[in-house]
Structure formats: structure tokens, C-alpha cells
Amino acid sequence: MAQPLEIRPIGHVVGGRTEPTDDHWGGAAVIRLNSDFPAEVVQGLEEFSHLIVVWHFDKASPDDVALHARSPRNDPKWPPSGTFVHRNHRRPNQLAQSFPRLLKVDGLDLHVADLDAIDGTPIYDLAPYFAEMGPRGEVREPSWPGEMLAQYWQDEA
């Protein structure tokens, strides 16, 4: 069996939302990479429009992990589904992925929009989004994610 993986944050979120909520995400924030990294770690990143960001639900408690089927957002209008069907903090490692737009690279500060993590959130990894490595074939899903997430992103002014 594999040994547990020990990783350390490569940076953290600065600005943006200060409290987690279910909906109306959007707006700008900064991913501030650790100051001990050389500037070259982001060389060429500004040529990409989007990032893949791995972050930790650091405000959640390990007691929040739910290893059972439940209705999304505890709403009985949606069918119960298992832990690995949900994209929230109730997962065993409490890790998340986001795909924010990269607005600007300023030294080790990555200015982004549409990052659904809050101010202070530890960032564990990031990479540019390559369309060629995105999903292949038809993407399918049940109707409930679209219904549940209809208000997830805020409208841009």
C-alpha cells in the first residue's frame, strides 16, 4: 500500500471572497505563490487563459467528511449520491480543483477571476489548462448538477 503523501502549500489566495457560500462565485483574487520560489516558475504562464488549481478546504473540519450517499445540498429534490459524486468539503482529503481565468502574472502573484476559493485558502498545485488534455468524447451528467449550480457563478457587471 502507498505511503501517505505529505505536501506543503505552494501559495495562498489573497483577496476575493472571505466566507464560503454555495452560490454567486466570481470576481477577482490573487494566487500568491511562496516568496522562496524563483520568478522562473511562472515563466510563460501569461500565455494561457485558464489554470487548474488544486486547493484545500482549510476551514472545514475533518468531522465534516461524509462517507455515505446523501442528496446534494441536502435537498431531497435531488437523488442521494455518494461522497465521490459531490464536489465539496465532505471528501476524505478535503481537496478541490478550480479552473479560474488567468488575468495577469505579476511576479509570483497570479491575478485570476472565477476562483471559487476564499481569501487565505492554501494552494497545493497549479498548472495551465491545456484544451488538448480536457475531456475527450461526449460529456454527460444527470440533470441535477445543472439545476443545483444554476446560480453558482455571479453575473459579470
pTM of the predicted model, to two decimals? 0.93
Q: Which of the residues in the chain have pLDDT under 70?
A: 156-157
- Rounded Cα distance between 4 and 84, Å, is 19
- Report pLDDT for 156: 62
Q: How many other CB atoms are there within 10 angstroms of residue 18's CB atom?
A: 8
Helix (H) or strand (E) holding 28: strand 28-33
33 burial class (0-12, 13-18, 19+ CB within 10 angstroms)?
buried
